[in-house]
Amino acid sequence: MVYYKVVATVHKVSRPQSLTPDQPSHVFYPCRMYKEGDRIVFEDNQINMAETTGALCLSLVASLIPVLKAMQRKVEPIIEEDGSAVPDSTQKVTWFSCPDAERPVILKIERVPMEGKPGWIIADKLAKSKHLDNLHFHTPNPNDKLNNIYDNLWESVMQKD
């Protein structure tokens, strides 16, 4: 099976617009969390903090989860009655809007094939083989060293595999 890293790049930060004619918008400024060009990188069921720029909006991330799950895996082609394959639409560039109706942030979503096995598969096998219930295994986070976290097995295991 092919697995993908999903990259969400901020394409547009919209100015506030009222949803009701003749009524002012209840917000006055565009989203302050993002600027055009910011990226959120989803890799291996995690947010890759080393490659992510800008902030993380929980509403945006929560609304992206169903899209992410579909885009992180290769979908086997569906076969039409005439025998032709229906193209996997998740392989195309996707546009996504955050759930803020009055000042949406528009994102360009792209898939990048991952090299090797995803970390969650490796971590699962490692935990089972060593009978580990608590395994610290995640994509590198620049804040780990600031927080004195040195037991992340990601670097040692992923670079060998």
The answer, yes or no, to whether residue 16 has pLDDT greater than 60, is yes
- Lowest-confidence segment of 11-15, 25-29, 115-119 by average pLDDT: 115-119
CA–CA separation, 52 vs 155, rounded Å? 18
pLDDT (0 to 100) of residue 85: 73
Q: What is the mean pLDDT of residues 112-129?
A: 70
Domain chopping of the chain, boundaries: 4-115, 116-161
pLDDT (0 to 100) of residue 38: 96
Q: Of 50, 54, 69, 57, whose CA–CA distance to 4 is shortest?
A: 69
3-class secondary structure per residue, the chain:
CCEEEEEEEEEEECCCCCCCCCCCCCCCCCCCCCCCCCEEEEECCEECCCCCCCCCCHHHHHHHHHHHHHHCECCCCEECCCCCEECCHHHCCEEEECCCCCCCEEEEEEEEECCCCCHHHHHHHHHHHHCCCCCCCCCCCCHHHHCCCCCCCHHHHHCCC
The answer, yes or no, to whether residue 1 has pLDDT greater than 70, is no
Task: Look at strands 105-113 and 4-13 and give their pairing.
Answer: antiparallel
The answer, yes or no, to whether residue 2 has pLDDT greater than 90, is no
Q: Of 134, 138, 141, 143, whose CA–CA distance to 154 is shortest?
A: 138
pLDDT (0 to 100) of residue 130: 66
pLDDT (0 to 100) of residue 133: 57
pLDDT tens digit sequence for 84-119:
777 665 556 688 999 998 899 999 998 888 776 666
In the block, which residue shows the tokens 């617009």? 17
pLDDT tens digit sequence for 54-78:
788 999 999 988 888 778 877 666 6
The answer, yes or no, to whether residue 161 has pLDDT greater than 60, is no
pLDDT (0 to 100) of residue 120: 61
